[in-house]
Amino acid sequence: MALVLNEEQIMLKDSAAGFLAQKAAVAQLRALRDSGSKTTFDGDVWNEMVNMGWASIAIPEAYGGLGYGYTGLGLVLEQVGRHLSNSPLESAVLVGATLVNELASEAQKQQWLPAIAAGETRFSLALQEGAHHNPQQLATSARREGDGFVLSGSKVLVLDAPSAQQFLVVAQLEGTDGASVFAVPASADGLAIESRAMVDSRAAGALTLNQVAVGADALVGEAGAAGPALERTLDIANIGLSAELLGLSAEAFERTVAYLQERKQFGRIIGSFQGLQHRAAELFAELELARSIVLKALQAIDEGADNLPLLASAAKAKLCEVAQRASNEAVQMHGGIGMTDECDIGFFIKRARVAQHTFGDYNYHLDRFARLGGF
Amino acid sequence: MSELEQFRAETRAWLEANCPQSMRTPARGFEDIYNGGRKPEIDHPDQKVWCDRMAERGWTVPTWPKEYGGGGLSKEEAKVLAQEMARINARRPLDSFGISMLGPALLKFGTEAQKKEHLPPIVRGEIRWCQGYSEPNAGSDLASLATRADDKGDHYLINGQKIWTSYADKADWIFCLVRTDNSGSKHEGISFVLFDMDQPGVTVKPIKLISGSSPFCETFFDDAKALKANLVGEEGKGWTIAKYLLTHEREMISSFGTAPRQSLGQQAVDVIGADASGRLANGVLRQNIAQYQLDALVFGYTMARVGDEAKAGQGLGPASSIFKYYGTELNKRRNELNLAVQGEAALGWDGEVYDGGQLSRDWLRSKGNSIEGGTSEVQLNIIAKRVLGLPDA
């Protein structure tokens, strides 16, 4: 497929940019943070996103979605990155809906996907257990009891944990080799949800599952067989986060270039100094590379490409590198003002690090990229 | 059968009948490709046979108009020809600066008479051209060039010196930037002229590089003569043509940086070994290679994206400005990593065991990529000023 956006995609991108600039921009994020809201997103804005079809963008038409594919969702997420818009788009749409679609039985999909598409139910993935993303190491356990299952363990960095209605808990089921996923309602007995305030002013949370009993229908898909669907979901999630990091990096860069064009020191515009010009030009080149791999990886999802894992890790590793550089340079080139809370640049560097870490950072994905490349 | 399929069938049959067997092996480098000229370097007699047969049909330059000796093929037909040549491993029959540089400039800026005179000998490989741009004191700052052309009625007399003139010792004619006027700004008063190198006023001295080869020369002009009929474009407006050709040249050099067929990481495992989990045994080298391969992969997608955007009518985006800078820097990284991976085997200079010192010579040659055709620093200046709109110092 040509590495170019079609007219329909350009329209979607423009309309997302217009909406978010007005309803969910950095000023709204600042206001939400200062209000001390536990959910950390605006429910009315989320409802408008749902009405525009954003919750159903990548859900197949057979289950009440738009069937528009992940390239479309990625374009929206890029704009989300530009405006630092807080919403459950990442937790419930990019990750939750994708895992249900990839893993669940036909009956479960019929039951859950239309509710997700309509914005009625939000599923959030509960995977990470330690300081780092490491899906191979799973301590959360499940055992059969009666018709159902009993789950025990603990999870961290569960996105939007305080407001999700269902958790997709990854656990090791007794008597099986591979991972299993269970849908656990937020109200389940024995489930403790601890809301944790993160540096990016978004809500994540830690879950403690203490002998949580669920029914037979809570098992998503087949027992012990979640591995491939989970891996594909994580690849898609990392590509979506890469799209968000692209928008974030481009916006931080453009704000920085604008500052270089107006700030004066030593009687000159500081953007006339070659020491800053070359750093800005190098960063521009890296951003153009970043844009290419994000589009390539998004298209690979929709095309069902065989090398999706390699492209996902390439995209995430590259975007982690570029976002880190762009956000660090943004603070440095803004000078003292860049260190103040009054300046918006601080919000970009904070969100960048959380998105970089989520589902594997630069070190994780560069290592995986090399491993998939045969070394 | 569609017309294009018809063309494919005919082309296949013609190539089968006319491409000598010895020309059906991949060229190992630029050296294996025939460059033509009055004093051609011929490694194999079939090179000339192959070039002549292709030139007869204009297929040495398939897309140039037929009236100037070209093949007159559409883009689709040229693609079919390239595919059919690749199918039998046929080498390109001819490559020269006439084809890649002067020809496109003449087609865009030349008079009808100039096109008629100069393009057909390029197609037939009869005249080999070189490019007279850089001077000892006009490298990155090319527009400050000082080689003088004095008006003598129907011709100019040219005095001065060029440097880094690629293959001047093998070329027959030169396309040259000269100063016809000193009164205005440095970008004004530059003219683009063509003249024969085979005359008493021209002296050429090859320059030996750190890689041991001499692809470049110093070129001296002492009352060299250029006919006014061979002034391309208007007198004093040569900078426009120079810029057009520089852009063209930068695109060619940047393509050196695209991802190679064989993965460097896999080569490293062969040489150095892997640990129990299959990872390259040296973790530091592994990280350096992974970073290089990631950037090479993504740079390739960027070249593809810019091409696709242009095809979709979205214009040549600002990303094209990074090609020369990024491609050459990548190629230097690749060559440094080759040394790191191959170790002793990459440090040989001569002899069969070292393949004639190919690796070390390529490594040394790559250092020039980020200097020739505009240094990396000049490329970054251009991005900062033209793309990012940052002010002059």
What are the 10-residue block averages of pLDDT along chain B, 393 residues in total? 91 96 80 89 90 96 96 91 91 92 94 97 97 92 94 97 95 97 93 97 95 92 97 95 84 55 87 94 97 97 91 79 93 96 94 89 93 92 94 88
> What residues of B are in contact with residue A2 (Cβ under 8 Å)?
308, 311-312
- Tokens standing for residue A187: 């109200």
- Summarised one tens digit per residue, pLDDT across range B199-235 is 999 999 999 999 888 889 999 999 999 999 999 999 9
Distance between B334 CA and the closest CA of chain A, angstroms: 16
Query: Which of B262, B275, B388 is the best substitution to test chain A (most A C-beta atoms within 10 A)?
Result: B388
Domain for residue B118, yes or no? no
DSSP state of B173: E
Closest of B77, B112, B88 to residue B5, by C-alpha: B77
Helix axis angle, B323-342 to B264-272, nearest 10°: 10
| Count of C-beta atoms within a 10 Å radius of residue A337 | 12
Enumerate long-range contacts of B37-44, CB under 8 Å, 24 or more apart: B37/B96, B37/B125, B37/B126, B37/B127, B37/B128, B37/B170, B37/B171, B37/B172, B38/B126, B38/B127, B38/B128, B38/B172, B38/B198, B39/B170, B39/B172, B40/B125, B40/B128, B41/B170
Write the class of the CATH domain A7-120.
Answer: mainly alpha
Residue B119 domain-assigned (yes or no):
no
Cα R_g (chain A), whole angstroms: 21
Q: For position A204, what pLDDT does the model report?
A: 93
Q: Is B289 in Cβ contact with A375 (below 8 Å)?
A: yes
Say whether both B210 and B322 belong to one domain: no
Q: Report domain extents, chain A.
A: 7-120, 124-220, 227-372
Q: For residue B341, is it within any domain?
A: yes
- Domain stop point among B202, B237, B272: B237
The answer to whether the Cβ–Cβ distance between A367 and B290 falls below 8 Å is yes
Please provide the size of chain B in residues.
Answer: 393
Encoded tokens for A137: 């190491």
The verdict on B263 and B382 lying in the same domain is yes
Please indicate, yes or no, if residue B248 is contained in any of the structural domains: no
Residues above pLDDT 70, as percent of chain A: 100
Residues B164 and B270 in one domain: no
Interval A119-165: pLDDT, tens? 999 999 999 999 999 999 999 999 999 999 999 999 999 999 999 99
Q: End of a domain among B204, B237, B270?
A: B237
**Record: contact B301-A293, CB cut-off 8 A:** yes
What pLDDT is recorded for position B249?
77
**Residue A44: exposure state from Cβ atoms within 10 A (0-12, 13-18, ≥19):** exposed
Q: Is the dihedral of CA A222, A223, A228, A234 positive or negative?
A: positive
Residue B145: which domain range?
Answer: 129-237
The pLDDT value given to residue B253: 66
Q: Is B100 a member of any domain?
A: no
Q: For residue B343, which amino acid is it? A: G
Query: Distance (Å, rounded) from C-alpha B367 to C-alpha B362?
Result: 9
ipTM exceeds 0.90: yes
Mention every residue, 6+ apart, whose C-beta is less than 8 A from residue A266: none
The pLDDT, as a whole number, for residue B262 is 67
Question: Is A274 in CB contact (< 8 Å) with chain B?
Answer: yes
Chain B touched by A35 (CB under 8 Å): no
Residue B251 lies in a domain: no
Instruction: Indicate the DSSP class of residue B209.
Output: -
With contact defined as beta carbons under 8 Å apart, do B158 and B201 qualify? yes
Question: Nearest CA to CA, how far is B259 from chain A (Å)?
Answer: 13
Q: Within a domain: residue B307? A: yes
Mean pLDDT estimate for chain A: 96
**B121 part of a folded domain:** no
Q: How far apart are CA A30 and CA A35, in angstroms?
A: 9
| Per-window interface: B 55-84 vs A, CB < 8 A | none
Q: Which residue has the higher pLDDT, B212 or A339?
A: A339
On whether both B146 and B215 belong to a single domain, the answer is yes
Cβ A289–B384 below 8 Å, yes or no?
A: no
Surface-to-core class of residue B149, CB atoms within 10 Å of its CB (0-12 exposed, 13-18 middle, 19+ buried): buried
Q: How many domains does chain B have?
A: 3
Give me the pLDDT at residue B260, please. Answer: 47
| Nearest-CB residue to B384 (from A2, A278, A296) | A278
Architecture of the structural domain at A227-372? Up-down Bundle (1.20)
Residue A30 touches partner B, C-beta closer than 8 Å: no
CATH of A124-220, one of 3.40.50.300, 3.40.50.360, 3.40.50.1820, 2.40.110.10: 2.40.110.10
First to last CA, chain B: 63
Q: What does the pLDDT average to over A206-215?
A: 98
Q: Do residue B203 and residue B323 come from a single domain?
A: no
Beta-strand ranges (E) seen in chain B are 129-132, 148-151, 155-166, 173-179, 190-196, 202-207, 216-227, 231-232
Residues 277-336 of B with CB under 8 A from A: 278-280, 286-287, 289-291, 293-295, 297-299, 301-302, 304-305, 308-309, 311-312, 314, 318-319, 322, 325-326
- Give yes or no for residue A257 having a pLDDT over 70: yes
Of B94, B112, B144, the position where a domain reaches its end is: B94
Q: Could you give the residue numbers annotated as active site of B? A: 249
For residue A124, list its beta bridge partners.
A167
> Can you give the pLDDT at residue B216?
93
* Separation between Cα atoms, residue B351 and residue B345, nearest integer Å: 12
For residue A247, give the H/E element and its range.
helix A227-262
B330 shares a domain with B267: yes
Q: For residue B214, what pLDDT is reported?
A: 87
Write the DSSP assignment of B343-374 as a string of letters: GGGGS--SSGGGGGGHHHHHHHHHTTTTTTTS
Q: Which of A278, A292, A317 sits opposite B302 (nearest CB)?
A: A292
pLDDT, one tens digit per residue, over A26-48 is 999 999 999 988 878 999 999 99
